Structures are given as structure tokens and as C-alpha cells.
A and B are shown apart, each in its own frame.
Chain A
Amino acid sequence: MNLTARRKALSGLVVFLCGSAVAVALVPLFFVFAYVLQKGFSSLSWDFFTKMPKPVGETGGGMANAMLGTLYLIAIASVLAVPVGVIAGVYLSEYGKKPFGSLVRFTADVLNGVPSIVIGIFAYGLAVLPVKHFSALAGGLALGFMMVPIITRTTEELLNLVPGSLREGSLALGATRARAAFSVMVPAALPGIMTGILVALARIAGETAPLLFTAFNNRYFSARLDQPISSLPVQIYTYAVAPYEDWHRQAWAGALVLVGFVFVFSVLARVVTRRLERMHRT
């Protein structure tokens, strides 16, 4: 076999391997999507989006409370986690060269890897045990704990990508270090930071474990922070393990809606990033 033929064969082999790897990565995703769509789509109805659950034994009703609850929990988590995460990210990027910075970075990475059920237990101990009451706040807190390390690390990484010459330019005009960070560096990194926040949202939107004994569940909807609240993942879990055919049907529909939520967040992340980037260019 001459050299050219051998090179071509090798190249073909590598392309084949890469293609197979991509297929292995994408096929499960495709099947999950297809299966959820097939099982859930037929059960989607106007009622499903607008009605509360019916009492046990009756068919019909919807998951309006769970959808609203998930959005509510995400909102609580964001309000708690976004400021903390972004500011911690700024700290790591601007002052994080010291040993303490490495400690914070390491801690964030560990926190990111902690199983979500453990985070749930922590939030339970923090916000449920003392008041002896499940609450939306405890659920939001648990989800917030999961968001913080993701936001912190993306913020740090994106700030590190902003040219240091911008910081110098700001300092040379008489800005303090913190002023330079928040008035020049953060705005310059904003598209990426927004993406990081939305990715974190997509990540926590489907979490069940941290909510099981914090937000618990609620067959009604209450906007009160100190009351238990329903969420899609917990509702799906509850319905899926129940012995009623109609509930199984609704669990599939709920799963489809949840996947839809995550999908929307991901698309939103892309769109927002593009928008903001374009604003910076022209």
C-alpha cells in the first residue's frame, strides 16, 4: 500500500470514529426527546396548562400549579443566587490570585459536584427544621445553592477573557479597582455572564432531589414564601409512582413541558448572548 492510500485510509478511520462518537452522544438525547414527545404530547391540553390537579380518583385536571411553582422557585433561586454568584465571580477574577481566592475557587468546584440530594438536606436543615415547615423559600434556597458555583465560575472565566487593557484604562482615569470591575469589566463580559446565568437556570429547572424535602409539594398554588409549593419535577415524580393511569399520562405531559422549559432557557441563552454581543460591536 503506498503512502497516499495509507494516509487516506487513516483519515477515513478517524472521521468514522469522530462520527460514531457524535452519534453515541446524540442518539440517547434524540430518543429521550422522541419518547417524551410521543408519550406526553397526546396528553397536552388547554386544561393541563390552566387547571389545578383534581382530587384523587377523579380524572382530568392539570399541572398549572406545578408549572407556576417551578417558575416561582426559579425566580426565588435567581434572586438569591445571581448577585452572590456574580459578585463572587468578580472577586475571583479581580482579587482571586491570593491563596484565599484558590480556596474559594476550590470550594465552588466542590459545591458544584455535591449531589443535589445533599444540597436539599442542607437547605432542609437550614430553612425547614428551625421553622418545622416546608416552604417555597427553602426550595428556592436549595436551588440557589446549586446555581451559585455555576454562576461564580462562568463569571470569573468570562471576566478573565476581557482584555486587561480595559481595566488599566479605567484605573488610569481615576477609578478604584472595584469601580473598574463593575463599570467596565462586568459590562464588557455581560453577554457571557447572562449565558452563564441562563445555563444555570436550565440546569436547576429540572432538579427534583433538592426540592423533595424543602419546597415539598402542594396540590394548590400559594405565592407565599413560607408555604410549600409544587414544582414540575416533584409533581412528575409523585404522579409517576402513583397507581393511577391518568396520573401517569399527566406525568408524561409534565415531563414534556419540563423539557420544553429547559429548551426555552437554552435558546434564550443563545439569543440574549447574540443580542448583547451585537450591541457591543456596532
Chain B
Amino acid sequence: MSDTLEASVEAPAEPRTAPPIPGREGRPEAPSSPPARSRMESRKLNFSYGAKQALWDISLKIPEKTVTAFIGPSGCGKSTYLRCLNRMNDIIPDTRVEGEVLLDGRDIYGPGMDVVDLRRRVGMVFQKSNPFPKSIFDNVAYGLRINGLCSRAEMPERVEKALRRSALWEEAKDRLDTSAMGLSGGQQQRLCIARALAVEPEVLLMDEPCSALDPIATAKVEELIHELRVDFTIVIVTHNMQQAARVSESTAFFMLGRLVEHDRTEKIFTNPGQKITEDYITGRFG
């Protein structure tokens, strides 16, 4: 198990503009700059559903303001691990967590951690878009309202900002008062991203955000992820190897509840450290 990432990946040295997507040419590589600060980190994380252990000793560092992709066969624990990062697994009865998950050096499972505050700081976008049966405006404003993050007067501005960030503003600006259920699948997913962004999270977890979308909507969401990594630390679970290669700077490969390896995406996809990673990536199994 190599976790060489810390030493080899660095803060993105590029200017804060969205880089071109296709082929990801111009991706910053400079290994000479100082190592990236890690935003989240797990140390020997074990997790079980009842008697069934799902995660084994996972130690992983998620670098700041980059996109980290989790890949691996179905049931390998990547989604479970993702949900450990904002304690979404808490709501599943009869589960157990051991080890530490650090957010800015503080254990999120430690005493005194406010789960509500944690989830505001570590946002999540789900596999299946889940807009609330409310208006588009109310969906985006929801997080701001329940957390009391801004005044009523600021609300329209914050909602617009979030919708612009998720590239939905142009399509939605004339119908903010209509139900979010009337949006298309891809728009709904971008609305969910806008909703998550509105509360200004530090980390954004995305659990297979494109698996229910068509290729065009997928391309839009990927483009969005690309722009967002300038401001946010993003973790994305994906079954789509090309997607991991396209959007991420670093990739972690999970297998049978263990972290097999975590490295720069380019290294994982061209010269992985483990034979099994290579087998999975080249499609020999999984």
C-alpha cells in the first residue's frame, strides 16, 4: 500500500481560471513545489455494518483544493468511506467506527464535534439527484436558511451565486419560483450541487454524481467539477475510469474494503504501483 501522494502532489500552481477540459492538456505537474496541505485525513479507519466489517484500516490523505477520485469495484467500500467523511453513516443504525478522521487536524468522530456543523463544512452530492419538492430558489436557499448563514436580504444574491457556480443560472433564472421537480435529470443534479455549494462547504463529497446522467449532462457536471476545484476540496466516487482520469488530480483505488493505493491520477493510470490496480484499470476484472 503506497500513499506517496503527500510527497508528490502539490498545490495547484495554475491561475484561478478554469483550465480547458478535453484531454486535460496543460494539467499542472510541477513536482518541485511544496507538498499540498491535506484537508482531510483518515487514520486506520475501520467501519462495520453490524457484524460485517466494510472498511479495514484505511489511512488516506485528501489534499486541499484538488479533486480526489475513489475508484474500485462495486461493494469495495468507496461509498461507505466517502460517507464516513461527513458522518452520513451515523444515521444507519448498528454501525461502528474505529480510528480517526481528521478535518483540519481535528477528529470528526471525537467528543465535542458538532455533526451539524461538520456536515455544513463537508457537503455532499448524491448518486441520485434528490431535489426537495420545493421551488428552485427554496432548494438552494435551504441550507442557508437552516444554518442561519445569511439575512433574508442577502438570500437572492447567495442563491444566484450558487446557481452561477453550478452553471445552472442561465437555465433557471426565469423560473426560480417553479418546482425543482420540473427540471431535467442533469439540471436536478446541478441544482443539488448548487444547494451544496450555497452553504460554502470546505470539502465537497460526490457519490457517483453522474451515474444517472446522460453523456451531455455528465460532461457538464465534469466541467463544473473542474471549475470548482479552484475553490473547493472535492472527493468523487466514480465507476467510470475515464471520468476519474479526466477530472481528478489524485486517485485512490479501493478493493474489498481496503485502500490498495492512492497516488497521482496520472501515475495510477499509467504506472500503478500494484498489479491489481493495473488489472482493474485495464478491465481485466471488476
Contacts and interface: CB of A to CB of B under 8 A. Distances in A.
Interface in A179-197: 179, 183-184, 187-188
Nearest to A165: B130
A175 B142 CA distance: 9
A187 B178 CA distance: 16
Given A97-B93, A174-B199, A183-B142, A169 B130 contact: yes
A166 B130 contact: yes
Interface stretch (A139-147, A199-207, A274-282): A274-282
B14 to A, nearest CB: 30
Interface of A: 97, 163, 165-177, 179, 183-184, 187-188, 279-282
Nearest to A174: B120
B91 A280 contact: no
Contacts of B131: 169
A165 B126 contact: yes
B166 to A, nearest CB: 14
Given A165-B128, A179-B146, A279-B179, A172 B133 contact: no
Contacts of B196: 172-173
Nearest to B87: A171
Contacts of A282: 178-179, 181-182
B240 to A, nearest CB: 21
Interface in B100-148: 116-117, 119-120, 123-124, 126, 128, 130-134, 142-143, 146-147
Contacts of B116: 174-176
Contacts of B124: 168, 172
Interface of B: 86, 88, 91, 93, 116-117, 119-120, 123-124, 126, 128, 130-134, 142-143, 146-147, 178-179, 181-182, 192, 195-196, 199
Given A171-B91, A174-B119, 10 more contacts: A165-B128, A167-B91, A168-B130, A170-B132, A171-B119, A172-B88, A172-B126, A174-B199, A188-B133, A282-B181
A281 B182 contact: yes
A173 B142 contact: yes
Nearest to B131: A169
A174 B128 contact: no
A248 to B, nearest CB: 52
Contact of B119 (A172, A183, A184, A187): A172
A173 B188 CA distance: 16
A191 B7 CA distance: 56
A280 B181 contact: yes
Contacts of A170: 132, 142, 146
Nearest to B118: A174
B120 A281 contact: no
Contacts of B119: 171-174
16 contacts: A165-B126, A168-B130, A169-B126, A170-B132, A170-B146, A171-B88, A171-B91, A172-B123, A174-B119, A174-B120, A175-B116, A175-B146, A183-B142, A187-B132, A280-B133, A280-B179
B199 A173 contact: yes
A282 B181 CA distance: 7
B252 to A, nearest CB: 21
Nearest to B119: A174
A166 B196 CA distance: 13
Q: Report, nearest first, the 7 A-B pairs whose CB atoms are least far apart.
A: A174-B120, A173-B143, A172-B124, A165-B130, A169-B130, A280-B133, A174-B119
Nearest to B114: A174
B59 to A, nearest CB: 25
B120 to A, nearest CB: 4
Contacts of A179: 146
A280 B116 CA distance: 28
B86 A172 contact: yes
Contacts of A183: 142, 146
Contacts of A166: 130, 132-133
